[in-house]
Amino acid sequence: MLQEKSKTEDIAPSWESYVVSQDWESFTDDDHAVWDLLFARQVELLGSRVVTPFLDGIDLLRLSHPGVPELGELNAILEPRTGWRTVAVPGLVPDDVFFAMLTERVFPVGNFIRTREQLDYLEAPDCFHDLFGHIPMLANHDFAEMARHVGELGVAAIAAGEGDRVARIYWHSVEFGLAKEDGELKILGACLASSFGESHFSLESDAVERLPFSVSRAVHTPYRHDAFQPRYLVSESLEATVEAVTATSPEELLAL
C-alpha cells in the first residue's frame, strides 16, 4: 500500500531506513486468533471468486498455517521462487519509497494486525491486508515480474512529477483489478481479495461501472480512498494485464 509523499521531503531516505523488525514474538494469542478468524472467513467468502494463481499462492506459501505468518519463514519459500521477499514496516510508506522497494522485489508488510473490534474497518493496511492480499500473487512468476516493473514505472513517474499516473495503474490492477478467467469475472486485486465487504460488491453490485482494463484507461481513471470504488477495470485475463503493464516503458507511460 502506498501513501502520498510529504511535500516537505525533497530527498527521500533509502527504503532500508523504513524497515523494522517484525517482532513476531510480540504478537499476542489474540493477535494470532484474529489472523485465524480473518483467514478462515476470507477464504470461505472468496471461494473461487479470485484468480486461480491467488489460491495457488495461498497453498504454496502455506498461509493457512495458524497464526500471523513469520516473515522469515515466508521469505524462505517466496524468495527462492520469484526473488521477492517481505520486510516489516510500521505503517504506510511514502510512494517513492514504496516503488523503490518494488524495483528490488521487496514488499513492505505492516508489523501489526487489526484488533477484533476493527475487523472490517482499517485506517492503515495491516499485515492481514499485506500478507493475505498481496503475497500470494507475488509467488506467481509473471505477476511478480509485473510488480517489479510497476516499481520501475513508479520511480520514473515520480521523478518526472507524474506519480499519479503510476499510482492509478497500481490501484486499478494490483489493488482493485478484476480479471476474467475462463470467461468468468474474478478478483485480481489485493484490496478486494482481502476485503470482507468489497470482494463480493466488486463482482456483484449493479451500482458500479466495470470497464475494460487498459494501461491508458487506468492512467486516466481516478479512484477513491475513502469508499468502495465506483468503477472497476476488468482485464481480459490476468495474463493480459501482466503483458500490457510490463510492455509499458516509463517514456510511454508519461506520454499516455
Number of other CB atoms surrounding residue 96 within 10 Å = 21
- What are the Cα distances from residue 75, in Å, to 42, 71, 180? 23, 6, 30
Nearer to Fe ion, 92 or 244 (CB): 92
Is 65 assigned a catalytic role? no
- Examine residue 106 and tell whether it contacts Fe ion (CB under 5 A): no
Is 152 assigned a catalytic role? no
- Examine residue 215 and tell whether it contacts Fe ion (CB under 5 A): no
Instruction: Show the CA angle centred on residue 244, arms to residues 239 and 246, nearest 5°.
Output: 95
Is 175 assigned a catalytic role? yes
Give the nearest residue (CB) to Fe ion. 1
- Examine residue 137 and tell whether it contacts Fe ion (CB under 5 A): no
- Examine residue 1 and tell whether it contacts Fe ion (CB under 5 A): yes
Rounded CA-CA distance 157/70 in Å is 33
Q: One of 172, 173, 181, 194 is an active-site residue; which one? A: 194
Residue 20 pairs with which residues in a beta bridge?
Answer: 88
x/- string (CB under 5 A) for Fe ion, residues 172-191? ------------------x-
- Examine residue 233 and tell whether it contacts Fe ion (CB under 5 A): no
Instruction: Tell me the number of residues near Fe ion by CB under 5 A.
Output: 2
Number of other CB atoms surrounding residue 37 within 10 Å = 13
Whole-number minimum distance, CB 153 to Fe ion, in Å? 17
Whole-number minimum distance, CB 190 to Fe ion, in Å? 5
Q: One of 152, 172, 175, 235 is an active-site residue; which one? A: 175
Residues 178 and 223: beta-carbon distance below 8 Å: no
- Examine residue 135 and tell whether it contacts Fe ion (CB under 5 A): no
Name the E strands within the chain.
Answer: 2-3, 85-89, 93-94, 106-110, 178-181, 184-187, 209-212, 231-235
Whole-number minimum distance, CB 73 to Fe ion, in Å? 21
Rounded CA-CA distance 111/90 in Å is 6
Instruction: Show the CA angle centred on residue 71, arms to residues 67 and 76, nearest 5°.
Output: 115
C-alpha cell at 252: 510511454
Nearer to Fe ion, 201 or 254 (CB): 201
Nearer to Fe ion, 1 or 127 (CB): 1
Whole-number minimum distance, CB 34 to Fe ion, in Å? 18
Is 172 assigned a catalytic role? no
Number of other CB atoms surrounding residue 126 within 10 Å = 25
- Examine residue 150 and tell whether it contacts Fe ion (CB under 5 A): no
Question: Which residues belong to the active site?
Answer: 129, 134, 175, 194
Tell me which residues touch Fe ion (CB under 5 A). 1, 190
